[in-house]
Amino acid sequence: MKIHNHIISSAKWCPSANYNERPTADINMLVVHNISLPPDQFGGGYIEDFFCNKLDSKAHPYFKTIKDLQVSAHLLIRRDGSLVQFVPFDKRAWHAGRSEFAGQTECNDFSIGIELEGSDHIHYHECQYVALAEVTGLLLHAYPAMNAARIVGHSDIAPGRKTDPGGSFDWPKYKRLIANSPQ
């Protein structure tokens, strides 16, 4: 696995229109999210459809509540550990919304967003942690302004509004895997 032209070589490429240019080239934070569509259900192509503005709002009642949203992430890690990339890392994906970290607002401007296919209260799979740690190592190498202290959850930058990656995410395990992975 490697990053070439701001895209992970082994990821499925599924381009989203929901991105724009960054106002800064200083990419210095990683935001970990979770997503499941419909909520607490896994598999299928609904996440890809959602990030690519192709979600059929008639396919599930919940989809009617999100049909007009235009959001994206840079990368999705599926339950089986496979990767889907939607936005090149040097572009601004629309994953964080209104957010703040260490006095900086609008975290989309300087962060990379990774979605784990998951839920706040359903445990993640080991292969997702392994894939996330491997991707994190690549990102830390490719974007040297990013460091372990600037790896956060969506809940850290939008408290009260967001809860992901949730209580089921094992931060100590993830941090151990990062520390033990080759950079």
Q: How many CB atoms lie within 10 A of CB 126?
A: 12
Among candidate residues 115, 117, 126, 134, the one labeled active-site is: 115
Buried b (16+ CB within 10 A) or exposed e, 96-107: beebebeeeeeb
C-alpha span between 94 and 96 (Å, rounded) = 6
Query: What's the residue count for the chain?
Result: 183
The question of whether 126 is a catalytic residue gets the answer no
Selection from 93, 88, 102 nearest residue 143 by Cα: 88
Tell me the catalytic residues: 115
